């Protein structure tokens, strides 16, 4: 099968070899069976549940006994539920706040940390410490820090008023946005740091020759070059924002009232606290659809799917 | 060409340092305070003395057990990932045919599935399988959700192995199994350590699956222990923060000794 005529001149031999690549290279190629165990495992624990969430959204189930077909009942209840409608807006608001605050912040920090000065390396090592904490731990730490009775607000009345940041919608949302920023900015900073380091130095040298100052360089070279990183990071922010859960559960429990009940938390409440699993499944589906739709729109609008290279013409 | 220092950026970075440092300071100093000291002097005061009571207290409230549970979950999840992902990535990179392409698409699609989306049916399936309140019921879905990112990372590493090496082994008539063990695995060490760290972090920090799929104290993991501590005895902030510190020690150790693998593991596909 792998006969190669040794007498053939090099040029012809190469062509022959290529026509035979299929044969030669198929020796020692793994069959698809190598992928089978992982695929089956993934199908069982991720794809089957994903299909079942659609099915369950048309069923009524209280956790005991068997689910029963309920038609559009869950969907009607969920879409008529003022708390649900409100939770969608709150999710979008928190996600929007997250993107609006974290994007500029992490771009600045990322570009700053991309410099190879010694002090920057030391400081960035500290900046990334929040990444070591789980979402639960972050929420617990900030919960202790912002406690109305024993935390910082109780000590700094001039800044925090009566100290109960969870008593009003605006401040409660502020706390959630702030804690998410603290938790996720380091991650996005890493994305921008990597991207900023990949910018060809020749661009800056050219700008320097042309007499462009630091700020012009930032706006005319750095920012456009970070375009792909920006899209990646913003999509992750949107998906992460819409599925924020631990922070709400631990810090506000959706309160005051339902003023911070975002959809991801409301899904948990409906399903696992009110034992209305059908409604929970419907809300979960709304969440997935929203996250997918927004990501797709972002990819389309930015032309990321066309994969325009930022180093074109270099 | 020496540039003048950027004072504005320097000032901004110090503000951020303060914001990052403040909670870390409060957390560390609180672990050395008694509950009454914390309540009286406030979270910002320096600790009066030195006490390890908060740490021993954390173990008294059951955190020792929670740590063992989390460790078990983490080891099993990493084990499953290491067993399933290398052959999968090997097939994705080297196998030819529509089936493998389809498999790869499937895992790319899998990247987009959030945990929340499947938590309700997962609860149903795990209960039906009789695995509710059993750590096996936490391990299996957690491992499954590590697969897409791990497969993508490891396939990326394996793609970098040069074709000539594969062809040379094929010339020698090596079987896929031999190629896998003698060529692919030894040359994918970087990717392997990244997926180990990635899946270990997912398992160690996991919250939603344990929250929904377990119930009793004997199956509690650390994150769930923190949440319960907070809801039941939130007033004991020093004890709670000591438990948080304990929970991050293993990750901190990895950060100190395998920073590269950790950063890559944290980034997952985000960094790709």
Question: Domains of chain B by range and CATH?
Answer: 55-271 (1.10.3720.10)
Residue range B90-127, pLDDT digits in tens: 999 888 878 888 888 888 888 878 888 899 999 999 99
A147, A187, A264: residue with CB nearest B116:
A264
Q: Which residues of chain A does B116 touch, with a Cβ-Cβ cutoff of 8 Å?
A: 243, 245, 264, 267-268, 284, 287
| Residue B81 to residue B203: CA distance in whole angstroms | 11
Reported ipTM: 0.88
Q: Does residue A144 carry a pLDDT above 90?
A: no
Q: pTM here? A: 0.85
| Residue B138 to residue B124: CA distance in whole angstroms | 13
Query: Which H or E run includes B22?
Result: helix B7-30
Nearest to B138, CA basis, from B155, B119, B157, B153: B119
DSSP state of A111: H
Q: How confident is the model at residue A309 (pLDDT cuts 50, 70, 90)?
A: low
Give, in order, the Cα–Cα distances in Å from B249 to each of A2, A132, B49, B254: 56, 9, 22, 9
Q: What percent of chain A has pLDDT over 70?
A: 86
Cβ–Cβ below 8 Å for B270 and A236? yes
Burial environment of residue A298 by CB neighbours within 10 A (0 to 12, 13 to 18, 19 or more): middle
Q: Does residue A285 carry a pLDDT above 70?
A: yes
Cβ–Cβ below 8 Å for A49 and B252? no
DSSP state of A232: H
**Helix or strand or coil: residue B186?**
helix
Residue range B201-219, pLDDT digits in tens: 899 999 999 999 999 989 9
Cβ–Cβ below 8 Å for B20 and A38? no
Lookup: tokens for B167: 């062809």
Q: Which residues of chain B does A132 touch, with a Cβ-Cβ cutoff of 8 Å?
A: 248, 251-252, 255
CA nearest B232 in A: which residue? A250
Residue range A286-308, pLDDT digits in tens: 988 888 888 888 878 876 655 55
Fold designation for A77-306: MetI-like fold (1.10.3720)
Q: How confident is the model at residue A22 (pLDDT cuts 50, 70, 90)?
A: very low
Q: What percent of chain B has pLDDT over 70?
A: 96
Residue ranges per structural domain of chain A: 1-30, 77-306
Cβ–Cβ below 8 Å for A284 and B125? no
- For the stretch A140-149, what's the b/e string if a residue is b when 16 or more beta carbons lie within 10 angstroms of its beta carbon? bbbbbbbbee
CA nearest A132 in B: which residue? B251
């Amino acid at each position: 099968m792998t006969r190669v005529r040794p007498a053939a001149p090099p040029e012809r031999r190469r062509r022959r070899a290529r026509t035979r690549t299929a044969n030669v290279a198929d020796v020692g190629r793994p069959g698809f069976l190598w992928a089978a165990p992982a695929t089956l495992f993934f199908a069982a624990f991720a794809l089957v549940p994903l299909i079942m969430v659609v099915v369950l959204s048309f069923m009524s189930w209280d956790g005991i006994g068997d689910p029963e077909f309920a038609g559009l009942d869950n969907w009607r209840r969920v879409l008529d539920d003022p708390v649900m409608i409100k939770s969608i807006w709150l999710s979008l608001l928190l996600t929007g706040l997250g993107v609006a605050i974290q994007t500029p912040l992490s771009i600045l920090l990322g570009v700053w940390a991309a410099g190879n000065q010694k002090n920057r390396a030391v400081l960035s090592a500290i900046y990334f410490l929040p990444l070591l904490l789980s979402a639960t731990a972050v929420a617990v730490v900030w919960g202790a820090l912002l406690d109305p009775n024993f935390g910082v607000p109780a000590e700094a009345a001039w800044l925090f008023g009566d100290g109960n940041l969870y008593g009003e919608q605006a401040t409660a949302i502020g706390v959630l946005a702030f804690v998410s920023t603290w938790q996720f900015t380091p991650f996005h900073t890493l994305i921008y740091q990597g991207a900023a380091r990949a910018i060809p130095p020749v661009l800056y040298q050219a700008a320097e020759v042309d007499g462009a100052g630091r700020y012009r360089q930032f706006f005319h070279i750095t920012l456009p070059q970070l375009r792909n990183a920006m899209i990646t990071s913003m999509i992750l922010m949107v998906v992460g924002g819409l599925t924020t859960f631990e922070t709400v559960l631990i810090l506000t429990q959706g309160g005051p009232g339902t003023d911070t009940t975002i959809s991801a938390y409301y899904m948990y409440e409906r399903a696992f606290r009110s034992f209305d699993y059908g409604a929970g499944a419907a809300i979960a589906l709304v969440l997935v659809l929203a996250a997918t739709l927004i990501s797709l729109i972002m990819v389309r609008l930015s032309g990321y799917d066309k994969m325009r290279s930022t180093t074109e013409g270099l | 060409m020496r540039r003048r220092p950027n004072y504005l950026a320097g000032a901004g970075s110090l503000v951020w340092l303060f914001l990052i440092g403040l909670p870390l300071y409060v957390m560390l100093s609180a672990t050395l305070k008694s509950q009454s000291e914390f309540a009286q002097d406030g979270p910002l005061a320096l600790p009066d003395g030195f006490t390890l009571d908060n740490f021993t207290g954390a173990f008294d409230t059951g955190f020792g057990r929670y740590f063992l549970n989390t460790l078990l979950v983490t080891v099993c999840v990493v084990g499953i990932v290491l067993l399933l992902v290398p052959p999968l990535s090997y097939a994705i990179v080297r196998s030819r045919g529509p089936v493998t392409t389809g498999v790869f698409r499937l895992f790319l699609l899998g990247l987009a599935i959030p945990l929340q989306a499947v938590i309700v049916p997962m609860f149903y399936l795990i209960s039906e399988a009789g695995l509710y309140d059993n750590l096996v019921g936490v391990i299996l879905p957690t491992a499954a959700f590590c697969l897409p990112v791990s497969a993508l990372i490891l396939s990326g590493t394996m793609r970098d192995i040069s074709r000539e090496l594969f062809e040379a082994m094929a010339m020698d008539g090596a079987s896929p199994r031999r190629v896998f063990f003698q060529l692919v695995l030894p040359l994918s060490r970087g990717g392997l350590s990244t997926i180990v760290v990635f899946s270990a972090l997912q398992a160690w920090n996991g919250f939603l699956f344990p929250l929904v799929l377990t119930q009793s104290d004997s199956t509690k993991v650390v994150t769930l222990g923190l949440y319960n501590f907070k809801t039941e005895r939130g007033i004991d902030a020093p004890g709670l923060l000591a438990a948080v510190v304990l929970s991050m020690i293993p990750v901190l150790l990895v950060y100190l000794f395998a920073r590269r693998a950790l950063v890559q593991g944290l980034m997952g596909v985000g960094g790709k």
